[in-house]
A and B are shown apart, each in its own frame.
Chain A
Amino acid sequence: MREIHVNEIIDKVKNLVMDSEYKLPEDFIQAIKIAKEKEESPLGREILDEILKNAEVAKIEQVAYCQDTGYPVFFVEVGQDVKIVGGSLREAINEGVRRATKEGYLRASLAYDPIFDRKNTGDNTPALIYFDIVPGDKINIKFAAKGGGSENQSKQAMLKPADGLEGVKKFILQSIANAGPNACPPFTVGVGIGGTFDYSAVLAKKSLFRHIGERHPDPRIAKLEEELIELANQLGVGPLGFGGTTTVVDVKIEIAPCHIASLPVAVNIQCHAARHKEIEI
């Protein structure tokens, strides 16, 4: 068994969170630069330029890219040959978030209960953590800061098998059009098809960790991704919804087996504050 001390996890999670909040992924920045060249709307080009400037300022000054520093969501794969020592893994991740929030000047954005007094938890904990056990002696930690504006526009539908591919496409495009200016496009759209009601949404969220431009290994899904990118950019939403030809920079689709009666589809809209990062310990 390989031993990993919780102190190492706390430190690495803290840095992962702070780094994600200050610095957008390089592949996303490149995608915005390319989009700027192709965007037909003059205002759209100007906005894409502001987005690039904002990314630069946030990175250089080490400040949050967006004031909504998001709901911290983690996908953690723990190698079955790892032994965590010194405390609980879940608590270590939360402590990392707590320290990043304080030392990194992040906004406290979680309400302790959703419907009664909605008091702020003050430190962005508890984080949402999905654990998985995998072979090996490493821990892989994926982190996403999910802003409320785009998460609010995400959708899930339990379609009928008879709705088929056309029904799926229509639902995805409608979700993108409806999200519009409310969710800060250009979007990266994460889609989960299949599984159960809840698992489709998890797949949609997890798909967003794939690099921009990286297509699904299944050629049928890759083709569907490409088709949806093209169609989404014909919706006219444009940068920040002011109109234009850049509505999405990418669409990611993951699929899973599902019940013979079901066709679950989930669309996780990701705004241009596309904060996704992963580390391996």
Chain B
Amino acid sequence: MVEAKIITTPLTDEVIENLRAGDKVLINGWVYTARDAAHKRMLEEYEKTGKLPFDVKGQVIYYVGPTPAKPGQVIGSAGPTTAYRMDKYTPKLLELGLKGTIGKGWRGPEVKEALKKYKAVYFAAYGGTAALLSKHITKVEMVAYEDLGPEAIRKLYFENFPVIVANDIYGGDVFEEGQKKYRKLVI
């Protein structure tokens, strides 16, 4: 088994340059949550005020809307949601210094280009394995938009949160490369 690369947020260009599509990575440190509704509001707010609810420079956004924590839990089940729904907003955030996003599934061409241009990485977490993934989250803090409920922006503290580099700054795509190996039928 290939050993995982261990990285800590916030991420630098040097860390990003060292990541290749297909690499297994364990993420440590604080990341921010945001999904559909938070992205929409965040970017609308930025249009009007020139400000975001948190400084995205060097940061990582995890596309997740967790279930509520049961008594004794830090957070409920917390797996990734499908990333392409955020594609409309992602290039702008990357331009502003965001270094990583975590989700599941393909990204569109605009995002892949922006990853190269602004030196950032898209990580894929194992979709649907939410009960397991939540065990790598040890602290949670509310950041903004609490009224959005599961879609609010929170800060999560990761301890060895497992992901795979899906799209890197060199144009690599783990899904395309992986599927090509096993594709016997093209339709």
Contacts and interface: CB of A to CB of B under 8 A. Distances in A.
Interface of A: 40-41, 43, 47, 50-51, 53-54, 57-58, 61, 63-69, 105-109, 118, 120, 122, 148-149, 152, 170, 173-174, 177, 180-184, 231, 234-238, 240-245, 271-273
B126 A47 contact: yes
A67 B64 contact: yes
Contacts, number: 164
Given A50-B129, A61-B131, A122-B149, A236 B183 contact: yes
Contact of B187 (A149, A184, A235, A243): A235
A106 B67 CA distance: 6
A170 B81 CA distance: 28
Interface of B: 37, 64-70, 73, 76-79, 81-82, 84, 104-106, 124, 126-132, 134-135, 148-151, 164, 174-175, 177-185, 187
Nearest to A62: B70
A231 B129 CA distance: 27
Contacts of B77: 58, 63-67
Nearest to B105: A182
Contacts of A152: 82
Contacts of B81: 67-68, 148-149
Nearest to A272: B128
Q: 9 tightest CB-CB pairs across the interface, nearest first?
A: A243-B178, A236-B183, A182-B105, A234-B185, A236-B182, A234-B184, A54-B129, A184-B127, A64-B77
Given A63-B76, A182-B84, A242 B129 contact: no
Nearest to A232: B185
A67 B78 contact: yes
21 contacts: A41-B182, A54-B132, A57-B131, A64-B77, A66-B130, A68-B65, A69-B67, A106-B67, A120-B151, A149-B82, A177-B187, A183-B82, A184-B127, A184-B128, A236-B179, A236-B180, A236-B182, A236-B185, A237-B179, A240-B104, A243-B175
Provide the main secondary structure of the chain A interface.
loop
Given A106-B67, A242-B164, A64 B106 contact: no
B70 A241 contact: no
A242 B175 contact: yes
Nearest to A118: B37
B174 to A, nearest CB: 6
B126 A67 contact: no
Contact of B182 (A57, A244, A272): A244
B183 A235 contact: yes
Contact of A170 (B68, B73, B187): B187
Contacts of B78: 67
Nearest to A245: B182
Given A50-B129, A64-B77, A242-B174, A40 B182 contact: yes
B70 A240 contact: no
Contacts of B66: 67, 107
B34 to A, nearest CB: 14
B44 to A, nearest CB: 13
A229 to B, nearest CB: 12
Given A54-B130, A107-B150, A64 B82 contact: no
A120 B150 contact: yes
A242 B127 CA distance: 11
A147 to B, nearest CB: 8
| Most B Cβ at <10 Å: residue of A61, A183, A242 | A242
